[in-house]
Amino acid sequence: MTDKQSICDQITKAILDLAKAGGLQPGAQIVIGCSTSEIAGGQIGKASAPEIGEWVAEAVLDVCRGQRFVPIFQCCEHLNRSLVMPLFAAEENRYIRVSAIPQPKAGGSVPAAAWKLMEEPCLVMRVQADAGLDIGDTLIGMHLRPVAVPYRGEVRKIGQANLVCAYSRLPYVGGARAVYN
């Protein structure tokens, strides 16, 4: 289904499930990659749906605000997969900012909507987020901290789009004699 309420409910549940599985704490950064074309049942990059982009951005921003997570939205390859995020978080993390404003056909419908909905958005080159949702096979892995752990929750699709989630864990270093928490 691609109605607003079901999309928002699916996104909310997916983020809350991922947060629980990954043990995410307030301040955790969550990167969202999303193809509105795929949500609507089309081919990625071929049928951008700005209205669906607004629904997705609103739902992500609402749940992140409630959980005190930092929402980050990955743009498409036309903006080199740069990311929309709150300015305060970019500055705190010393992320490299870039100069562009996402549009539905150059950046994607979700980042364009997030840009309009955020109080002080900015665009950054790259991040190392704590977790992420990849809605429609947009390839967010480059923006996750090592080591990314795939997570399959109850929500497997957002609309018609495949959903792949991941959270990160600390790398295990050492050898046979190492002891881990």
Give residue 64's pLDDT band: very low, low, confident or very high (50, 70, 90): very high
pLDDT tens profile 103-148: 998 899 999 999 999 999 999 999 999 999 999 999 999 999 999 9
CATH number of the domain enclosing 78: 3.40.50.10360
pLDDT tens profile 11-33: 999 999 999 999 999 999 999 99
Q: Residue 181 domain-assigned? A: no
pLDDT of residue 82: 97
pLDDT of residue 117: 98
DSSP strand pairing (70-74 vs 83-86): antiparallel
Domain hosting 140: range is 4-168
- The answer to whether the bond into 147 is cis (omega within 30° of 0) is yes
Q: Residue 174 domain-assigned? A: no
